[in-house]
Amino acid sequence: MAQLELKQASIELDNSLKIMDQLSLSVAPGDFITILGGNGAGKSTLFNAITGNLRLTEGIIELNKTNITQLSEEKRATYIARVFQDPKNGTAPRMTVAENLALAMKRGEKRKIFKRREIKSNRDYFHDLCASIGNGLENHLDTPTGNLSGGQRQALSLLMATMKDPDLLLLDEHTAALDPKTAKQLMSLTQKFVTKKNLTCLMITHHMEDALNFGNRLIVLEKGCIKKDFNQEEKAKLQLEDLLRFF
């Protein structure tokens, strides 16, 4: 569980375009915040700023009261895990499920090379982890992830992102490429992991129902700023029509 703080964070491009504009956000430990916003509102930019993929040109980012504004993306990855929209993004396609899990176990370590015997000794653990998902992944420990379905691959990405209890979990439209049934299953799994592990989580989504049904807080972004920040009480009263006003 982590506390995240963005203080008047801006990102100005070389052409003077501000894709993040004096954004301030305070995330409490255990917050599960859903994030909405139209195309180009700055949702991925916010995540890129948090992970260090994009550097702030102004402002400060603190994680657990430590200033991480100048910390490299690689170092931040020790504490921050991200699941992307594209199932191809989270796993190495030619590596098997077990190999990907062995790699995920190394998150935060300098040398991210696993040894064969580590896969052997952790096989039962990997099997049980995969079985907990409930989509048959445990029968594919030796399958290259490129041969899995999109849903299985996204579930594996989520498993890999959460297996070492990250301080912060960033979900970047992680159900967007899945069919409705599989997307629903992945959201149930997400809720299960977030609750069980007490994770601090930010989730970008274009599904307004998911934004309403999950999490304890809801943020609407526009033009690189926070347009609206609904707390738990306000969010509980929100209806779909209220959100449609923002688009």
Ligand X SMILES: Nc1ncnc2c1ncn2[C@@H]1O[C@H](COP(=O)(O)OP(=O)(O)OP(=O)(O)O)[C@@H](O)[C@H]1O
Query: What is the rounded distance in angstroms from the CA atom of residue 148 to the CA atom of residue 140?
Result: 8
Nearest distance in Å: CB 244, ligand X: 16
Residue closer to ligand X, measured from CB, 45 or 145 = 45
> Of 42, 90, 151, 215, which one interacts with ligand X (CB under 6 A)?
42
Q: Does 151 bind ligand X (CB under 6 A)?
A: no
Residue closer to ligand X, measured from CB, 12 or 138 = 12
- Which residues, in sequence order, are CB contacts of 216 under 8 Å at separation 6+? 31, 32, 33, 232, 235
Query: What is the rounded distance in angstroms from the CA atom of residue 65 to the CA atom of residue 63?
Result: 5
> Of 9, 31, 34, 37, which one interacts with ligand X (CB under 6 A)?
37
Residue closer to ligand X, measured from CB, 106 or 223 = 223
Alpha helices in the chain (DSSP H): 43-51, 73-76, 97-104, 116-121, 123-131, 150-162, 180-196, 208-213, 232-237, 240-244
> Of 16, 39, 239, 241, which one interacts with ligand X (CB under 6 A)?
39
With CB under 6 A as the contact rule, which of the stretches 24-32, 33-41, 66-74, 186-194 interacts with ligand X?
A: 33-41
Q: Does 43 bind ligand X (CB under 6 A)?
A: yes
Written as six digits, the tokens of 170 are: 């960033």
Q: Does 45 bind ligand X (CB under 6 A)?
A: yes
Conformational region of residue 187, where left means phi above 0, alpha means psi within -120 to 50, and beta covers everything else? alpha
Nearest distance in Å: CB 206, ligand X: 7
Letter for the amino acid at 204? I
Under DSSP, is residue 65 helix (H, G, I), strand (E, B) or coil? coil
> Of 13, 131, 236, 240, which one interacts with ligand X (CB under 6 A)?
13
Binding site for ligand X (CB under 6 A): 13, 19, 37, 39-45
